[in-house]
Amino acid sequence: MYSDFSFPSRNIHLIFLFFGAIIAGRATANDQINELQSKKKIPYDPEIEAAVMNMVKNAGYVLEKHIVETDDGYLLTVHRLPNASGSPIFLQHGLLSSSADWLSLGKEKAFPYLLSNLGYDVWLGNFRGNALSKAHVNLSTDESEYWNFSWHEMGIYDLPAMIDYVVSNTNKKAIYIGHSMGTTGSYVMAAERPDMQDKLKLIISFAPVVYLAHIKSPLRLLAPVSDELEIISKTFGYNELFAADDVAGVLLRHSCSSNIVNGDLCANILFAIVGFDPAQIDWEQLTTIAGLTPAGSSTKCFIHYLQEVEPNQFRQYDYGAFDNLKKYGTLTPPKYDISKIKVPIACFYGDNDWLADVGDVKRFYAKLPNGISIQRVNLTSFNHIDFLWAKDAPGLLYDPTIDIIKSFD
């Protein structure tokens, strides 16, 4: 299953990243951030945030940071490549990812830069629990209550809070572009908070994740034990997925860290989860990327996905029959009502995506009341992370996406 790769052994830009982080650490502070700082409620990891700021500055762009509070008290970092006269586009990352991953392809290629070059006002969201959105007005991240969320809460709280913020700051409807869990969250929002759809012109979905019956990733091996995982979580408390101090977290972070010797282990772990496509990844770039990820999430997000595999349903979190009855009034969790998703949706999928399988994507698309297009990315090996990191993503994916955006703008 594993293949051999060769790696350029250059750490040059990690060194830049390190010094850059120190310099950029002094930049951009506003009153809101100062106030949060005094309360020790800064939601981002300062090192990662400084590295992101610096990466963007080196590419010749301005990055603003904004902090948004959700109705249930989570504090989220939203980045912006501003253009006050441009139409707002909101980009939302997936599982174990962050706003930084949209930028990793660099100056000529990263999607936010391409959009900014065209005059759009580009906003980048961060879901609760990642390295840039790790704070709550009352809860500490050491408490398991903080981690009691899945992509359901991201859909009903995080996205509405961030989109309201964008729309009220710009007085314009936004175009939403999500990847992976960023697509799942957008469908939860549209189904559960239909009022939010009036604030969006269009949703574009990269690698939509709704049905998981055909998921090829070895992660599916965990699906049969999702009930046990939920019972364990309920008993011991929900927790951070790949926390800095658990075994999987240490392994992943260590193998994906600046130590280039372990680069192939990191790549193999990654490909074993998302599908193999070594030709599309620039390994020098990957060290920068991997230095910023995995960005973390909750175990509950992961379990919620596993719960979808066997029933082959898109539905709310399964707490087990007894607790479902208390919470939902039914033994099984309620399904999300796809027929309520009225906002126009365009989907892109990859043939070699082990998470968002072609068959599952097509089944979802067929149920949408207002699907406007479904497009295959024209490369057989295109996988789940290629949407963010493939060398050829600009020609294969971003150009056709921009065509759709222009037709709506």
Ligand X SMILES: *[C@@H]1O[C@H](CO)[C@@H](O)[C@H](O)[C@H]1NC(C)=O
120 versus 354: smaller Cβ distance to ligand X: 120
Name residue 315's amino acid: R
Q: Give the count of residues interacting with ligand X (CB under 6 A).
A: 12
Q: Is 304 a catalytic residue?
A: no
DSSP string computed for 31-46? HHHHHHHHTT---S-H
Binding range to ligand X, per CB under 6 A, among 82-90, 166-174, 177-185, 347-355: 82-90
Name residue 61's amino acid: Y
Restricted to residues 303-342, the positions that interact with ligand X (CB under 6 A) are 327
Query: Could you say whether residue 380 binds ligand X (CB under 6 A)?
Result: no
Binding range to ligand X, per CB under 6 A, among 7-15, 53-61, 80-88, 340-348: 80-88
SS3 assignment, position 61:
coil
One of 1, 31, 40, 85 touching ligand X (CB under 6 A): 85
92 in Cβ contact with 60 (< 8 Å)? no
161 versus 215: smaller Cβ distance to ligand X: 161
Closest C-alpha among 387, 407, 394 to residue 201? 407
Per-residue interface string for the shown chain with ligand X, residues 101-130, x marking contact by CB under 6 A: ------------------x-----------
DSSP string computed for 81-141? E--TTSPEEEEE--TT--THHHHTT-TTT-HHHHHHHTT-EEEEE--TTSTTS-EESS--T
Q: How far is the CB of 159 from ligand X (least distance, A)?
A: 16
264 versus 392: smaller Cβ distance to ligand X: 392
CB-CB neighbours of 117 under 10 Å: 11
Name residue 158's amino acid: D
Dihedral sign from CA coordinates of 307, 129, 206, 125: positive
Q: How far is the CB of 236 from ligand X (least distance, A)?
A: 10
Query: Could you say whether residue 72 binds ligand X (CB under 6 A)?
Result: yes
Distance CA 252, CA 241 (A): 11
Distance CA 297, CA 355 (A): 17
Query: Could you say whether residue 351 binds ligand X (CB under 6 A)?
Result: no
Q: How far is the CB of 119 from ligand X (least distance, A)?
A: 3
Check 93, 136, 304, 384 and give the catalytic one: 384
Query: Could you say whether residue 86 binds ligand X (CB under 6 A)?
Result: yes
One of 73, 106, 249, 311 touching ligand X (CB under 6 A): 73
345 in Cβ contact with 366 (< 8 Å)? no
Q: Which residue is nearest to ligand X (CB)?
A: 73
Q: Is 6 a catalytic residue?
A: no
Q: How far is the CB of 73 from ligand X (least distance, A)?
A: 3
Query: Could you say whether residue 239 binds ligand X (CB under 6 A)?
Result: no
Per-residue interface string for the shown chain with ligand X, residues 199-238, x marking contact by CB under 6 A: ----------------------------------------
64 in Cβ contact with 84 (< 8 Å)? no
159-170 vs 181-192: helix axis angle to the nearest 10? 80
72 versus 310: smaller Cβ distance to ligand X: 72
One of 37, 312, 378, 407 touching ligand X (CB under 6 A): 378
Name residue 152's amino acid: H
Tell me which residue has tokens 């968002």: 356
Check 104, 150, 180, 255 and give the catalytic one: 180
306 in Cβ contact with 300 (< 8 Å)? no
Per-residue interface string for the shown chain with ligand X, residues 133-162, x marking contact by CB under 6 A: ----xx------x--x--------------
Tell me which residue has tokens 């971003």: 398
337 versus 399: smaller Cβ distance to ligand X: 399
Binding range to ligand X, per CB under 6 A, among 78-86, 189-197, 243-251, 353-361: 78-86
Intra-chain end-to-end CA distance of the chain, in Å: 45
One of 11, 28, 58, 83 touching ligand X (CB under 6 A): 83
Closest C-alpha among 130, 170, 138 to residue 154? 130
Q: Provide CB contacts within 8 A for 375, sequence distance 6+.
A: 346, 347, 348, 349, 400
Give the residue numbers annotated as catalytic, written as ranges.
Answer: 180, 384
Interface residues with ligand X (CB under 6 A)?
Answer: 72-73, 83, 85-86, 119, 137-138, 145, 148, 327, 378
